[in-house]
Amino acid sequence: MSALNRFSGLLLAATLPLTALADLPPETIQPSINAELAEHTKVFNKEIYKVTDNVYSAVGWSIANSVMVIAPEGLIIFDTGESPEESAKVFAEFRKISDKPVKAIVYSHFHPDHINGVKGFVSEEQVKSGEVQIYAHETLLDNVVTQGALVGPILAMRSAYTFGAALNAADRKDMNGGIGPIAVGGQSTFIAPTITFKDKLDTTIAGLPVQLRWAPSEAPDEIVMYIPSSGVLLSAEVDQGPTLPNIHTLRGAKFRDPVAWVNSLDLLRDFHAQYMVPSHGRPVSGAEKVEEVLRMTRDGIAYIHDQTVRWMNKGLTPDELVEKVQLPPHLAGYTPYLREYYGTVKHSVRQIYEGYLGWFKGDPVDLNPIPPVEKATRMVALMGGHDNVLLAAGDAYLKGDYQWAAELATYVIRIDHEDKLARDIKARSFRKLGYAQMNINWRNWYLMSAMELEGTLGEEQLAEMAKRLRGTFLSPDMLKNLPVKVFLQNWVTRVDPDKANDVSLTLGFVFPDINEQWALEVRRGVVQLHPGIPEGTALKLTLDKTYLDTVISGQNSLLKGAVLGDVKVDGNLLDIKTFLGCFDFSDSPINLTVR
């Protein structure tokens, strides 16, 4: 019996026990893809685009492009892709054009798809020797290590859903990543910048005069590069490429200020470039076309921001704003640059509201809401009980009202995570919603969540997926650049109050090889990081930063080092064990949907 027949029978014969229906064969929903989204995939066919005689853009190997600039004395590589494996393939293509040595790498910003492939182009030895320089904004390194160390576990899991990391071949068929091909992942590498700047840097790289400018937008450390001699602008993700920009990313990020983004787009317009080479999508040729793309993109972002603020000031809340704020036809139809392949108006509007006003919408009913499980229990009872709710959910599903079906099923799942029929209704509703989406982020979240509900995304797979994605944000190469302060600051958010509420201890850390001293103070469930070691601190660990790197990577532990002599101990070892026991460094599988 098909699932549709299952629900039909349920609606016609309400006396049939729901528990008997839970084991019937599931409905088969054939994978499909929005036609416009499938057509968009062709934008990212693998091709080396010749912009001018000395500028070439590699589109289609990684979700982000790598750009080769041929300078008099060597090559400049602008952005390095998401993995050294794919970047090596790009470099092989570049080598068909020029055999000059690489003299410089430019990181446009700290996101993994722009920095993780660096060792596909250059080695660490080349950078250490000074043969190759790496240019970036002065905050890039801090952003890299903070992202991976502070919110790495949850960011990894949410990124897995955003990019559809566990989707099968059928669900990936004809798909793209919105701003590039589907992310391929792979090994993550990193080499720290050697030359950084704050606002601007006019310099000569490998004999070529260039202008580097800070242009906060999609990332807070975004930089662009202009080549005056050829009128070429490497626009990074200030122009995010062939899509409505992602003013907010569903995987999670700090507030992306749309006003700053618009200002940066205007900065790019002031170059009056003849050519624009974005880090996503194809190059743009001709001064008029470059100006048009930049102007329309800035107007799209500005319209979303300005109208959101306008209606916020009339008292509308996020759920009301998403229905009110819509791009006018001349902007919404500007293909491909303002089509919703990657960003959407709806999730941008919510981020703008939160960025200005925070989570509170103004109704005190939200100040201390009934906890989710208790609320679900009361709502289900109010609607006549478990069977009535699922009858209504099934009815909504049959009528194609998939959002309502999913919302109703969610109440039942909140009460009982193992309710198979409720999970089935919600999963199939998500598949119907997902396959209809033109936006890759929404599609991937619907389909990944459907897998979680169906039970095909189990705890082991979740854990493995999270571990793999975690390495994207904090690879071994990045760990080597992790300052002691960042590592110890991470302990502050890892304290377990149940174990630390009765503990008042301070542990000093001495690092002779880098001449740094720090201390962590546990004060009844709260932890404070001190620069230097407070006078009178009895507990101290002395170790080299190089050994700490092995602790950070998981190869060793502080207690193991103390026992084997790699870590010198001052004070009572049992007290140190008590101190270390106050922290929770476990990473458990995270269920984002079944909760």
- pLDDT band at residue 21 using 50, 70 and 90 as cut-offs: very low
pLDDT score recorded for residue 589 = 75
pLDDT digits (tens, 9 = 90+) for 370-396: 999 999 999 999 999 999 999 999 999
pLDDT exceeds 90 at position 13: no
Tell me the β-bridge partners of 518: 509, 531
Residue 4 has pLDDT above 50, yes or no: no
CA distance 140 to 196: 9
Using one digit for the tens of pLDDT, what is the confidence trace for 472-501? 887 878 877 778 998 898 899 999 999 999
Cβ 186 vs Cβ 85: under 8 Å: yes
pTM: 0.92
pLDDT at position 26 is: 60
What structural domains does the chain harbor?
35-357 (3.60.15.30), 483-580 (3.30.1050.10)
Range in 23-32, 158-167, 507-516 with the lowest mean pLDDT: 23-32
State whether the Cα torsion 567-573-576-582 is positive or negative.
positive
Strand positions, DSSP E, 220-300: 223-227, 232-236, 275-278, 284-285
Tell me, what's the pLDDT at 155? 87
- Residue-level pLDDT at 7: 53
**Residue 165 scores a pLDDT above 70:** yes
- The yes-or-no verdict on residue 14 having pLDDT over 70 is no
- 135 φ, ψ (degrees, to nearest 5): -100, 140
Q: pLDDT digits over 416-432, tens only?
A: 999 999 999 999 999 99
Q: Express as a percent the part of the chain with pLDDT over 90.
A: 79
Mean of the pLDDT values across residues 84-95? Answer: 97
| The pLDDT of residue 323 is above 50 | yes
What tokens were used for 55? Answer: 């500028």
Share of the chain above pLDDT 70, in %: 96
CA dihedral (551, 555, 557, 563) positive or negative = negative
In three-state secondary structure terms, 75 is: strand
- For 266-295, letters b (16+ CB in 10 Å) and e give ebbbebebbbbbbbbbbbbeeeeebbebbe
Residues 525-531, mean pLDDT to the nearest whole number: 95
Q: Which residue has the higher pLDDT, 142 or 303?
A: 303
Give residue-wise pLDDT tens across range 191-231: 999 999 999 999 999 999 999 999 999 999 999 999 999 99
CA distance linking residue 303 with residue 448, whole number of Å: 32
For residue 153, the model assigns a pLDDT of 83
Q: How far apart (Å, rounded) are the C-alpha atoms in residues 157 and 552?
A: 20
pLDDT in tens, 334-355: 999 999 999 999 999 999 999 9
**Which residues, at least 6 apart from 258, have a Cβ–Cβ distance to it below 8 Å?**
247, 301, 302, 304, 305, 348, 352
